[in-house]
Structure 1
Amino acid sequence: MAGPTTPATTGATLKRSLRFRDLVLYGIILIQPTAPMPSFGVIYQEARGHVVTAILCALVAMLFTSISYGRMARVYPEGGSAFMYVGRELHPALGYITGWCMAMDYILNPLICTIWCSKAAQNFLPEIPYVLWAIFFAGLFTLLNLRGVETSARINAMMAAALGVVIVLVVASILRYLLKLPHQPGSFYTTPFYDPSTFSSKALFRGTSIAILTYIGFDGISTLTDEAKDPARNIPRAIVLTCLITGVLASIEVYLAQLVWPRGMAFPDVDTAYVSISGRAGGVFMFALVNASLLLATIGSGMASQLGAARLLLAMGQDGAIPGKFFGAVHPKNRIPRNNVLLIGAICLAGALVFSYQLGTELLNYGALLAFMGVNVASAVLAWRAARLKQWLPILSSLFGFAVCFFIWLNLGHLARIVGTTWAVVGIICWAFYGRKAGTMRKASTGNPPY
């Protein structure tokens, strides 16, 4: 998700060079074309096999939310994200809490990457205990970030292209597998959408609350308004189209996977279920290829998200929103927020030993859905202030987006809601002690509300 932005301190401005297709490509790279693969098994388990339906239900919520993001990006073309939109349209305190919940997302992203990488590595070397793999990957992310190693946009693009090739190979192997099957009844091809023997609306929406992870990252496009050509037109369109393409691509990936795996058959490991499906369709080669590809992609995501989380905490520390002496410090030699990188590395290791991949995912979605709800409400308020009921369509679409996100949020696991709410309460306490002061300082210096 989008990180904090820094106001320009000189007269220089960013070059407007990004075309519409560049924005869409950036969004797809940000989300990753293999987004539904790591969480496939967890969604399958919770939705009782209705993964593709859960992905499509999540798409509805994300499309309406993406429209709200696009509307806010048009009004605030200087770049921003949920905490800025909520802070400006609703209240600085609500913006602060939104930013606080997004900070939880940033921290949890490298945590679930640590868990998944450890599980995937065990597929290659099962004799090495999970604990040792967790220590290795948490240490790897931390060590590389302490050395200032960053993933460039060009490497990201190359990785996305490589993953695109892997997806094509997976689809080809699955289609080849299906063609070799004996003749199947029509219900065989519709069961992934609806299986009357296992369907439960409660289970479906439970799975949908996890499937939201497939779309996390689309809002990052809103931070490119200063570099986009005709941002008022292209940014909103790119955000919506990115969500739509992600939903269609993800649906195809999980639909074909569900046709391969027999109903009622347990996965060797739920967290790496898609790897097992690839192996069933394409043999040892596809098993190794998909496992290695997702492992490398998740390592890159874990490194980038850990550094992103460290930078977000740095920005909050320097603004006085959290204790600045610790969080606002930058190492003088490599210019890295060393304290934050080490802290997040420790959290990743501890979390990987205590949390399950599913709990980490649900907690990440907890914060994301709260941010999405905030943006939808901010969009509705913006339309109301602009023209009252003359803007009835934007108002209704924003409120519908809020309602769908809220409903999905209610279907998160009980433990995830308890832990997430505890984090939010801590954020409210931090606002009482630090946020008000930070808001006063920032408003005095920039004229803008905090976050």
Structure 2
Amino acid sequence: MGQLESKVRDKPDDGLKRSLKLWHLIAYGIIIIQPTAPMGIYGVVSNVARGHVVTAILLAMIAMLFTAVSYGRMARIYPSAGSAYTYVGKELHPLFGYVVGWSMLLDYILNPIICAIWCSAAAVNILPQVPFAAWAVSFVIVFTALNLRGVQTSGRVNALLALAMSIVVVFFLAEAVRYIALVVRPVPGLWLLPFYDPRTFSPNRLYRGTSIAVLTYIGFDGISTMSEEVENPRRNIMFATVLTCFIIGILSSIEVYAAQLVWPGRIPFAPEIVDTAFVQIALRVGGKFLFHLLNATLLIANMGSGIAAQFGAARLLYAMGRGNSLPRRFFGALDPRSAVPKNNVLLVGLCTLGGAFLLTYERGAELLNFGAFIAFMGVNAAALVHYKFRSQEKVIFPVLMPLCGLLVSAFIWLHLSHSAQLLGTAWIAAGLLIYVLMRRERDRVIAA
């Protein structure tokens, strides 16, 4: 699962040496997204898309590649403020930028929720005698307690975790190949079923599965936050963003392709195992050892993502409070001893606890992608307006690339479930109401 931690990276100090090369950025992007990215959502996408997980991953990659180009191009224009909120607010209108920022806040709040849900389901695999509810409460307490102490993992620790995950992925693929060759022994026609199975194929189900599969790539835009530390950022930021999406897409496709050959997509996952379906496949191909190894690996990965995402949400709320987009007294306050936005950490912790019981992993993922696609559409629209009407810089397909990204993102966004669209729209409406109330309050203060 992709981490959102990168979106709240501190701005580098002025004068930092530009020492990062293209391959550094690609490695950083892969660390953010994680090599195990498709494993957490595998069962949900498989059930929704009726087994066409590979196709959903590849379709999502197409949307992300177009959007990655737009992110890379906008990072050229705003090299020190890499954020969809900034791009849209500057190029289109501050109100549109606010809507994008408010949508991103939904992502920040939902990410620790789905991480807590997944971690709890994985923990039940280890100690089934402990109920899901107890695990959910425990993980939320851990997330919140660590963030109240300001404990954050370093870049070196994240890199080591990504390396360990990559080794586990290679081990899983080796066991899967052995199992497919010795047990499955697919005939020639079966090799293509993970891409297209005429018995289960449904375009609408595939498109909805694609709208969830995009979660695989969430976090790629964090590369744009490295603009001030990169050699030739105008070139390398865009190349790194695009190549990261492509590499993650291919790696993820290989992982889920092997999984679908082991566990054919026409066989749906039962509700009690759908969230951790990939580790059930590991049990089939590698026995108890691989089952527990992969389960522990994904558990640690999701814990790291959940902790970082909760802190990111608290930081974003603090920034909005300090900027008077939210009530400053509550959201813009820092704890005097730890310099942590304590109020926000506790508020996000309460939201995480409630969400872990009120949402399913599938619903949370779709809602998260609702906000993400608002940002993606906004960035593509901003790139379209800038390079069509304002920029003198010559780029390849200045209109076609962002237009394709906008249309593909809108198409996938429209295929989110109706409940996710309704809840997401309600969230946007609440944000607009807050915007109006805060605007009136500012006007009243100025008039006084």
Give 1:393 shift: 1.6
Structure 1 stretch displaced more, 424-433 or 285-294: 424-433
Change (3 A) 1:429 1:65: same
Q: Distance in 2 between matches of 1:70 and 1:337?
A: 31
Equivalence for 1:448: none
Gaps of 5+ in 1: 442-451
* Residue pair 1:145, 1:303 contacting (<8 A) in 2 also: yes
**What runs of 5+ residues in structure 2 fail to find an aligned partner?**
none
Match of 2:314 in 1: 310
- 1:29 alignment partner, one of 31, 40, 46: 31
1:444 counterpart residue number? none
Give the CA RMSD over aligned residues: 2.0
Sequence identity, in percent? 53
Alpha-carbon distance between aligned partners in 1 of 2:283 and 2:10, rounded to the nearest angstrom: 46
Matching residue of 2:163: 161
State the shift of 1:265 in Å: 3.3
Cα gap change, 1:227 to 1:199, in 2 (>3 Å): same
SS at match of 2:398: helix
- The aligned counterpart of 1:286 is 290
CA distance in 2, matches of 1:351, 1:324: 25
Secondary structure of the corresponding residue to residue 406 of structure 1: helix
> Is structure 2 residue 91 aligned with structure 1 residue 89?
yes
Distance in 2 (alpha carbons) for counterparts of 1:181 and 1:15: 54
How far apart in 2 are the matches of 1:420 and 1:186?
44
* 1:329 matched residue in structure 2: 333
Q: Is the 8 A contact 1:5 1:80 kept in 2?
A: no
CA–CA separation in structure 1 for the residues paired with 2:197 and 2:67: 29
| Residue matched to 2:116 | 114
Separation (CA, whole Å) in 2 of partners of 1:435 and 1:75: 29
CA distance in 2, matches of 1:156, 1:427: 33
Given that 1:206 and 1:411 are in contact with CA atoms closer than 8 Å, whether structure 2 keeps it comes out as: yes
**Contact 1:320–1:435 (8 Å) recurs in 2:** no
Equivalent in the alignment of 2:69 = 67
Aligned partner of 2:310: which letter? Q
Mapped to 2, the partners of 1:392 and 1:431 lie a distance apart of: 38
C-alpha distance 93-420 of structure 1, shift in aligned 2 (>3 A): same
Q: Report if aligned partners of 1:79, 1:224 keep a CA contact under 8 Å in 2.
A: no
Rounded Cα–Cα distance in structure 2 between residues aligned with 1:96 and 1:267: 40
1:362 aligns with 2:366: yes
Q: CA deviation at 1:76?
A: 1.4
1:375 alignment partner AA: V
Quick one: distance in 2 between partners of 1:334 and 1:182? 56
Shift of 1:168: 0.4
1:124 corresponds to:
126
Relative distance call for 1:222 and 1:436 in structure 2 (3 A) is: farther
Alpha-carbon deviations, 1:284-333, whole Å to 9, x = none? Answer: 10000000000011111110110011001000000100011111110011
Partner of 1:237: 239
1:368-404 deviation per Cα after TM superposition (whole angstroms, max 9, x unaligned): 0000000000000001123699878221110111000
Structure 2 letter corresponding to 1:352? A
Of residues 414, 417, 424 in structure 1, which corresponds to 2:421? Answer: 417
Tell me the amino acid that sits aligned with residue 3 of structure 1. Answer: K
Query: Structure 1 267/387 Cα, relative in aligned 2: closer, same or farther at 3 Å?
Result: closer
The answer to whether the 8 Å contact 2:108/2:310 transfers is yes
Cα deviation for residue 7 of structure 1 reads: 7.1
Q: 1:198 to 1:264 in 2, by over 3 A?
A: closer
User: Which residue pairs with 2:305 in the alignment?
Assistant: 301
- Which whole-Å CA distance do the structure 2 matches of 1:134 and 1:162 have between them? 26
Q: Within the alignment, does 1:319 sit opposite 2:349 as a pair? A: no
Are the equivalent residues in 1 in contact too, given 2:18–2:229 (CA < 8 A)?
yes
One-letter amino acid matched to 1:179? A
Match of 1:209 in 2: 211
Q: Which amino acid in the other structure matches residue 177 of structure 1? A: Y
**C-alpha distance 197-435 of structure 1, shift in aligned 2 (>3 A):** farther
Task: Name the residue aligned to 2:195.
Answer: 193
SS at match of 2:129: coil
**Cα pair 1:104 1:364 within 8 Å, conserved:** yes
Deviates more, 1:264-273 or 1:159-168: 264-273
Cα separation, 1, equivalents of 2:53 and 2:146:
35
2:147 counterpart letter in structure 1: N
Find out whether 1:225 has 2:218 as its counterpart: no
Tell me the secondary structure at the aligned position of residue 67 of structure 2. Answer: helix
Find the aligned partners of 2:419 and 2:354 in 1 and give their Cα distance.
18
Corresponding residue for residue 50 of structure 1: 52
CA distance in 2, matches of 1:387, 1:311: 33
Distance 1:22 1:134 in 2: 36
In structure 2, distance between residues paired with 1:382 and 1:311:
29
**Could you say which residue in structure 1 is the equivalent of 2:377?**
373
Q: Is the 8 A contact 1:3 1:312 kept in 2?
A: no
> Where in structure 2 are the equivalents of 1:401-416 lying within 5 Å?
401-416=405-420
CA distance in 2 between partners of 1:253 and 1:93 (Å): 41
Amino acid at match of 2:432: I
TM-score by length of 2: 0.94
Specify the code of the residue in structure 1 equivalent to 2:398: P
Q: 1:242 & 1:390 partners in 2: Cα distance? A: 24
Aligned to 1:295, the other structure's residue is in SS state helix
Aligned with 1:399 (options 403, 406, 410)? 403
2:183 to 174, 181, 184: 181
Q: Does 1:429 align with 2:448?
A: no
What's the TM-score, normalizing by structure 1?
0.94
Q: Which residue of 1 aligns with 2:137?
A: 135
Cα distance, 1:185 vs structure 2: 1.6
Give how far 1:266 is off. 4.1
